[in-house]
A and B are shown apart, each in its own frame.
Chain A
Amino acid sequence: MQTIDLSETGLRATNKMLHAQADNTNQTAWEIVNPKGAHAIACGLNAPIEVTVKGSTGYYCGGMNQQATINIHGSAGPGTGENIMSGKIVIEGDASQYLGATGHGGMIVVKGNASSRCGISMKGVNIVVQGNIGHMSAFMGQSGNLVVCGDAGDALGDSCYEARFFVRGTVKSLGADCEKKEMREEHLTLLQGLLDEAGIDADPAEFTRYGSARTLYNFDVDNAGAY
């Protein structure tokens, strides 16, 4: 295990060290102490390593992640896991706004609550939140899955494309063109797989699926007033 004291090593040197790890590195376990809410911790990683941050992080932790597993033992600031491509980010506390924005792949797990705009413009990432999520989540979501074990705020899935949303609790309101959908066998299987991967014990049968009503895909003159 390699331990880095962020307050002594500094952000650039820390990220540089992590960036230097190759696909076949044998230094696979890293620990970052004294993060003190710093921005851009463990951003742009591209190696199968596991980084554990002991404390809360600021903006953009784990942004653009590929392959790496990042554990945050605290809460995470705005834009955590932005544009994640692969790998996994696990947040033990809460996550601030626009978690996993534009994420293409991989998984983000939040043990607490996620704030507004969770999964905004998601493009393939899977996000599993054990608590609640805030308003405007998954706005323009294109693909991937957003699983919420608690409640969702206002305007869930506004203007979404093919991203899927599974919510166990209540949804304060659905966004434009987002609708409740039937939970078929394939969805129960998919959801069970996502919960297993996230390490969260919940019954898929208790969730409701939401997704695009597909009425905004093509221009319709009757909708002109809505633009």
Chain B
Amino acid sequence: MCGIVGLFLKDKSLEPKLGEMLTAMLITMTDRGPDSAGIAIYGGESKGRTKMTVQSDTPETAFDGLEAALSTAVGGPVAVEIKSTHAVLDIPAGTGAKARAALNDMGIRVMSRGDSLEIYKEVGLPKDVAAQFDISAMSGTHGIGHTRMATESAVTTMGAHPFNTGDDQCLVHNGSLSNHNSLRRKLRREGIHIETENDTEVGAAYLTWQMQNGATLGEALTSSLDDLDGFFTFVVGTKDGFGVVRDPIACKPAVMAETDQYVAFGSEYRAMVDLPGIENARVWEPEPATVYFWSHNNTPTATEKAA
């Protein structure tokens, strides 16, 4: 069991409250996943710059002098904003690979990379994790949160969701994949970097691999229905929006709500009860084996693709 929450804002006036609304939703899902929590938030971009969120268990020493060391490594100006065990790095666009190599040498873990995505995740109760990073003060256009009750791998920071798949992409998962070991071996042979023994990371890596080979996110999600065995409700985030897909058996719960102001996702309805105007929202369960997607790029409607 795990809990998933997601919020995609259509009404710009709600953007300053995104973190606050997501935090309340996340905390309601504590009893679905009390061992770790994470949140992915899309907070806007600055031109010509890339964001990386990084983590260390020993932030005092690891982040000390990081700004200067990274500037040298990437050959350009770097800004570092420390938030507890995490830090958000602002680096020149196109220097992501150099930065990743340098961070790897320093023993600092990369949580996410993209133009606007930031990921914060740690072991602990959702309310503590949210407070640790002051998520409720964050603004943004959309975000995804996850509360984890581990089944397939250890309770660690790296085993927590969301998983960063490609630039500005992330994935959260409720369920368990049963063919993740064979798929991990296959993807590693294809040159895809997979960090942990976690099943969801394999799902995330699978989507990355599909998209590296030319698939759109929608196509990658559709093909995941054929190639991933097991149970899953996936919510994926991109720079422009978020998508939802459930396996054909669809035993992992999912509820969605839509108003003129937002589209919301919750593992249970109770995660959404305090959203504004929820009593008049259109509330429904996403159909099994059907890909849904909402984007700020298009008129925000559910585009369904028969799988």
Contact = CB atoms under 8 A, between A and B. Distances in A.
Contact of B269 (A37, A115, A136): A37
Interface string A53-89: 0001011000000000000000101100000000000
Contact of A36 (B249, B270, B284, B288): B270
B270 A96 contact: no
Given A75-B283, A78-B253, A97-B253, A38 B288 contact: no
Interface residues of B, number: 15
Contacts of A134: 250, 288
Interface string A91-120: 001101100000000000000000110000
Contact of A94 (B268, B271, B285): B285
B253 A116 contact: no
Contact of B284 (A56, A77, A94): A94
A9 to B, nearest CB: 17
A126 B31 CA distance: 33
A135 interface: yes
B273 interface: yes
Nearest to B248: A135
Contacts of B271: 37
Contacts of B288: 116, 134-135
Contact of B273 (A37, A94, A116, A136): A37
A77 B285 contact: no
B137 interface: no
Contacts of B283: 56, 75, 93-94
A116 B269 contact: no
- Most A CB contacts (10 A, CB to CB) among B268, B272, B284 go to B268
Given A78-B253, A97-B251, A116-B250, A37 B268 contact: yes
A173 to B, nearest CB: 13
Would you call the interface of chain A mostly helix, strand, loop, or mixed?
Answer: loop
Interface in B97-117: none
Interface in B225-257: 249-251, 253, 255
A75 B253 CA distance: 14
A92 to B, nearest CB: 13
A141 B232 CA distance: 26
Interface string A133-160: 0111000000000000000000000000
Contacts of A75: 269, 283
Interface string B261-281: 000000011111100000000
Given A94-B285, A116-B288, A135-B288, A37 B251 contact: no
Nearest to A98: B251
A42 B269 CA distance: 18
A96 B253 contact: yes
A96 B255 CA distance: 9
A58 B251 contact: no
A151 to B, nearest CB: 13
Contacts of B270: 36-38, 58
A93 B279 CA distance: 12
Nearest to B269: A37
Interface in B265-307: 268-273, 283-285, 288
A199 B168 CA distance: 52
Nearest to A112: B284
A116 B233 CA distance: 15
A157 to B, nearest CB: 17
B269 A77 contact: yes
B285 A58 contact: no
Nearest to B255: A96
Contacts of B268: 37, 58-59, 77
Contacts of B249: 136
Nearest to B31: A39
B257 to A, nearest CB: 11
B271 to A, nearest CB: 8
A115 B273 contact: no
Contact of A96 (B272, B273, B285): B285
Contacts of A59: 268
Contacts of B284: 94
B205 to A, nearest CB: 29
Given A94-B283, A115-B285, 4 more contacts: A37-B273, A75-B283, A77-B269, A116-B250
19 contacts: A36-B273, A37-B270, A37-B271, A38-B270, A56-B269, A58-B268, A58-B270, A59-B268, A75-B269, A94-B283, A94-B284, A94-B285, A96-B255, A97-B251, A97-B253, A116-B250, A116-B288, A134-B250, A135-B288
Name the 7 nearest CB pairs between A and B, nearest first: A37-B270, A37-B269, A36-B273, A56-B269, A58-B270, A115-B285, A37-B273
